[in-house]
Structure 1
Amino acid sequence: MKVETSAALFALLSVASARPDAVRLFRKTHTPIGASAKFRREVPQEHSHEKFLRGVGQALNLNNVDQVQDPVFALLGNKAAAQGAGQVQDLDCLQQRVADQAFTNAKAANDVEGMTNALIFRALERNTGSVGLASVLCTETAKNPEIAAIQQHQDPASEGAAELNKQITLDLAVQLASIGADPQLALQSGTFAPGQAGDQTGAGNTCDDADDAEGCIFTQNLLVEDATAEEIDAAVAAAGGNANAGNGNADDTADDAEDDGCEADDGSADDTANDDAGNAADDAEDDECEADNGSADDASNDDANNNNNAGGNANNGADNSNNGGTATTGVNVNAFTGSVGSAPVPVISSTADKPFSVNGAEFLNQGAAIQRACDVQKNACANAANGGDKTISVADCDAQQQQCVAQNGKKRRQSVDTGDCGSPAISFGQQQDRGSEEAFAPVNSADFNHGSALKPAVITDFICSQLKSKCGASEATVAQCEEGAQAADSLEGQAAADAFNAALGV
C-alpha cells in the first residue's frame, strides 16, 4: 500500500459536504497528485470492491436517516470521512452505521441481495494512515445483530491480521447463511496481499477504480481469500446453518426472501453489472432462491461456480448440475440444451411442497427455478472463460443465459392455454383511468375488464379468477397464473408486472 498526498482530493471532499453531487465527481475523478499534502493516508482502495459499494448505496438511499453523502466516505480515514458523514458523529462507526441502515432498508423490502451487500460492505477493509496500521473498531452496537456480529477487515500487514481476517470472513459467512444468501460470498470481502509494515512510501498491492463496476480487486485478480470453501462450509454447519447473533425474526425474513425474491426475470439485471470476474455479483442475486435449510451441502453445490479455481470449476459446476438431476426423483423441465462452457442445469419437477429444485435449492415457482438454472450455467461458463478457456468469452456466457431464459419462456408460452381469452399480461405505468399516477392494469382489457390498481394483487387475482371461471383456461395455466400472482405480490412497480408476466410466459 502506498501513502498518497492529495490536496486536490481534500478540496473535492470539502465541496462534497456542501454539494452532494460533488460526490459523483469524487467517485469519477480522484487520482494521486503531487507531494504538497494536506493529509496523508494509504493509497486509495475504497473503490476496490465497487459492486458492494454501489449495492449498499442503493439500499442506503431507500432511507438515508443519517444523510451520509455516499458509502465511499465510510471506507476513508476519519479526516476525509468527516466531509461526507452526514449526521454521524463517531467516525470510527461510520462504516457500521452505513451498513446497518442499508441492511435495515433491504430487510424491510425483503431484498436478500441488498442485505448481502450490506453485510459484505461492513466487513471491507477501511483505509488507514500507513501500511500495517489497523483501523479503529466501532464501539457502538448495531441495530441489526447480523451487522453487529461483523467487524471490518484489517490491513493485511498489521499484527495478527491473517488470523483475524479469516475469523471475520467466517463470521460473515455465518451471517450470510442466516439470511439465505450464499455463504461463499464472504470470501469476496477479503483484501489485498500485505505490503511492508511501516513503509511510509506505501509500496503495496492495492487498486482503486471507481469506473470498474465489478471492482478492480476482482478484475485484476488481486483478492487474497482469507479461508477455503471447505472452511466456510464448516463454519456455517457449526453455527447451525441459520445462525445469527440473536435476531428471532431472521429465519422468517430469510424464508420470505426465498419465497418472494425468487421471481423470474429476463436477465436484464445481469446486463447492468460487469460480469468479467466470474459473475460473482450475480451470485448474491441468484442465491436469494436457495433452500433455507442451513445445510453445508446446499452451500457447496454453488461453491464450484464461485471460487478462484476457475479453470476446474466449470466442470465441477456441470457435474453438480447433472448429479442434482439424477439424485432427485422427478422430471427435468429445463428445455434449454445449449452447452457453451457448461452443460445445462436440470430443473427437477416433483410432487414436493416446493415442486421445483435446482442443485438442491427448492422453489415454489417454475419460472424462478428456470432463472436459477440458467444463472448457474452462466456462472459455470464464465468461470471457464475467466479460467483460461480461449474458445469462449464471458459475453458468450451472457448470451447463452438469455437464450436459456428465452427458450424456456417460449416453451411455457406454447403450453399456456387461456381458453376463450387472449393474453393475461399486465402492465405497470400511467393508466387512462388514473391520470399521471402509475398503477397496474390488464393489457387485454377486452377479456379482462378491470380498472387500474395501485397494488398488483388486485389485478393479478382478478385475472386468475377470470381465467378459471370465465375463460375456461387449463388447470396448468391457472396454476401458473397463481404462481405469478404470488411472485408479483412481494414486489413493486415494473418488477411485479415482469414477475407475473414471466410466470405465464407472456
Structure 2
Amino acid sequence: MKFTTSTTVLVMVGVASARPDAVRFSRKAQGSTKLRREVPQEHSHEQFLTGVGEALNLNNVENIQDPVFSLLGNAAAAAGAGDVEDLDCLQQHVADQAFTNAKAAGDIEGMTNALIFRALERNTGAVGQASVLCTETAVNPEIDALQQHQDPASDGAADLNKQITLELAVQLASIGADPQLALKAGTFAPGEIGDPTGAGNTCDEDDDPVGCIFTQNLLVEDASAQEIDDAVAAAGGSAGGDAGSDAGGEECVDEPVNVGNGTGDADDAGNAGDAGNATGANVNAFSGNVGADPIPIANDPTSDRPFSVNGATFQNAGAAVQRACDVQKNACANAANSGSSDISVADCDAQQQECIQANANVSKRGISGLRARQAGNNSGALDTGSCGSPAISFGVQADRNEESFAPADAADFNHGSALAIGVIADFICSQLSSKCQASDATIQDCEAAASAADGLTGQAAADAFNNALGV
C-alpha cells in the first residue's frame, strides 16, 4: 500500500549513487540557491543505482537520461527526465520500468535493485524539507506499494521509515528475493535541522562500487532482522496483491515464506558456511572468522548467473560479495548476542567492512565478464597453439614437500612449483603468447583467468584459473 502521512512527517535527505557528470550538474544547481540544502549523497548507495540503471537501459522507453536525476530536486531532475512529465514521479518511473525489464528477463537481482531503489531517499531543497510523494499508479504493484525514505531528523521519521522498510521486505519476499535486503534502503543517522553546512551525517564517495554508506558503516537500519521476518510472515508471504494482482506479480510468488525462512537459516551461525549445492570455485578472498567463518562465493563461469552464496545466485560479483559478507555478519552477531563468543556486534560490523574491502578486487575485476568467452571455450577446443592444456595444479609437487602451484602439463609449460599462483599463471600466459603461438582470444582469456585467481589461495585459486579457461 502507499503510505498516507502529513507533510510534517515527509522530510528528505538525498541518497543513492550517480554517474559523475550528473553529480556535477546537481551540485551546480544546488549552489545557485539560497536555501540551506542537504548536501547530496548521490554515491552513498552506489550498488543499487548502478543495478537499476542496467535494468532500465534494457528498454528505456521514456528516454530517461540516468536514474540519478530521479534522486535530485525537480529543478535538476528536469534535465534528465526524458519523456516523464511529473517530476515528482520520476523515481517511480525509473524503478517501475527497471522492474518491468528485469521481470521480463527473469532477473531477480534486477527486480530487487528496482525495489530497493524506489525506497531510497530523494534530495530536497533543505534539511527538514519534505519530498513530494508520487500520486501516479505504478504498472507493477510491487513498485506501487512503495515510497521513498524520509529525513531521519524529521518528526515521526523513525516510525515511517520502519514502515517503508517492512513493506519493502514484503515486496522483496514476494519476488523470491532476500527480504533482509530491505535494510539496505535505509539512511544515515539524523542530522541537525538548521545545520548551515547541510551536510548532516552523510558521505559521498564516487569511487566506491558498493556505496560509502555501507563501507563507512554509516547505515542506520530501520528495523531488526526479526521484525523483517515477522512482517513477511504477517503478510502471508504474499505482496502486491492489494495493489492489483492483475499486473502479473503473482507469477513471481514462489513460496515466499520459505524465502524468509531461508534468511533465518542464513543468519544461523550453524548454517552460515553451508554452500549447499553450489558449484564452482570459491572466490571469497576474505579469511577473517570472528564469530563465524567466511561464506563461500561460488563462481561458475558457465552459468548465466555465475555467482552463488548459500543457494542464492547473482549476475554480478559485487552483489554476491555483499551477500556473503552480510550473511557472515549476521552469523557473527548471533554469536555475539547469544554469548557463545566473547565478541561484540561492533566487532561483527567491523569484520563485515573488512570482508567487503578484501573482496574489492573480486567486485571490480568482473569475473562474470568471462561468461561470453567461456561459452566460446566450452563450445570447442581451447586454441593453445602448439601446446597442451594450460591448467594449473595445486598440491604437493615433485620438487617441493609442501602444497604449491605448478603447470599441469609440465612438458609444454616447464616451470618449477611456486607458492603463489600468480607466478605460474603469468608464466603460462607468457608461454601461450611466445612459445605456443596461441590465439589472441586464448591469451586474453588466460590473462583474465589470472585476474580471477588473483588474491585467492590454495585449491580455490587453481579452480578459479582453470574454470575461467574451461580446462
Q: TM-score range by the shorter chain?
A: 0.5 to 0.7
Query: Which residue of structure 2 lines up, in the alignment, with residue 320 of structure 1?
Result: 271
Query: Which residue of structure 2 lines up, in the alignment, with residue 116 of structure 1?
Result: 112
* Aligned 8 A contact 1:131 1:197 in 2: yes
The structure-2 alpha-carbon separation of the partners of 1:228 and 1:160, relative to structure 1 and needing over 3 Å to count, comes to same
Query: Which residue of structure 1 lines up, in the alignment, with residue 133 of structure 2?
Result: 137
Query: Which residue of structure 1 lines up, in the alignment, with residue 245 of structure 2?
Result: 247
1:427 partnered with 2:376: yes
| Residue among 88, 92, 98 paired with 2:88 | 92
| Residue among 218, 222, 226 paired with 1:222 | 218
**1:302-347, Cα deviation, whole Å (9 max, x unpaired):** 3x3xxxxxxxxxxx54x2246x69xx9xx99999799933547799
Query: Which residue of structure 2 lines up, in the alignment, with residue 296 of structure 1?
Result: 260
Letter matched to residue 427 of structure 1: G
Q: What displacement does 1:398 show?
A: 7.4
- Where in structure 2 are the equivalents of 1:25-424 lying within 5 Å? 25-27=21-23, 37=33, 41-199=37-195, 201-245=197-241, 246-247=244-245, 249-253=248-252, 292-294=256-258, 296-302=260-266, 304=267, 317=269, 319-321=270-272, 340-342=287-289, 343=293, 387-388=349-350, 394=356
CA distance in 2, matches of 1:215, 1:3: 16
**1:232-282, Cα deviation, whole Å (9 max, x unpaired):** 010011112243334364353355xxxxxxxxxxxxxxxxxxxxxxxxxxx
* Aligned 8 A contact 1:381 1:394 in 2: no
Query: Which residue of structure 2 lines up, in the alignment, with residue 456 of structure 1?
Result: none
Letter matched to residue 69 of structure 1: Q
Q: What displacement does 1:168 show?
A: 0.2
Query: Which residue of structure 1 lines up, in the alignment, with residue 460 of structure 2?
Result: none
* Aligned 8 A contact 2:238 2:253 in 1: no
Letter matched to residue 271 of structure 2: N
Q: What displacement does 1:42 show?
A: 2.1
The structure-2 alpha-carbon separation of the partners of 1:333 and 1:61, relative to structure 1 and needing over 3 Å to count, comes to closer
CA distance in 1, matches of 2:348, 2:141: 36
The structure-2 alpha-carbon separation of the partners of 1:340 and 1:427, relative to structure 1 and needing over 3 Å to count, comes to same
The structure-2 alpha-carbon separation of the partners of 1:60 and 1:203, relative to structure 1 and needing over 3 Å to count, comes to closer
CA distance in 2, matches of 1:389, 1:87: 45
Report how many aligned residue pairs link the two structures: 335
The structure-2 alpha-carbon separation of the partners of 1:2 and 1:138, relative to structure 1 and needing over 3 Å to count, comes to closer
* Aligned 8 A contact 1:233 1:296 in 2: yes
Letter matched to residue 139 of structure 1: T
The unaligned stretches of length 5 or more in structure 1 are 5-21, 256-290, 305-315, 348-357, 406-424, 429-440, 446-500
CA distance in 1, matches of 2:50, 2:283: 35
* Aligned 8 A contact 1:150 1:168 in 2: yes
**1:102-143, Cα deviation, whole Å (9 max, x unpaired):** 100111111111111100010001111111112110000000
What TM-score do you get using the length of structure 2 for normalisation?
0.58
Letter matched to residue 442 of structure 1: S
Give the CA RMSD over aligned residues.
4.8
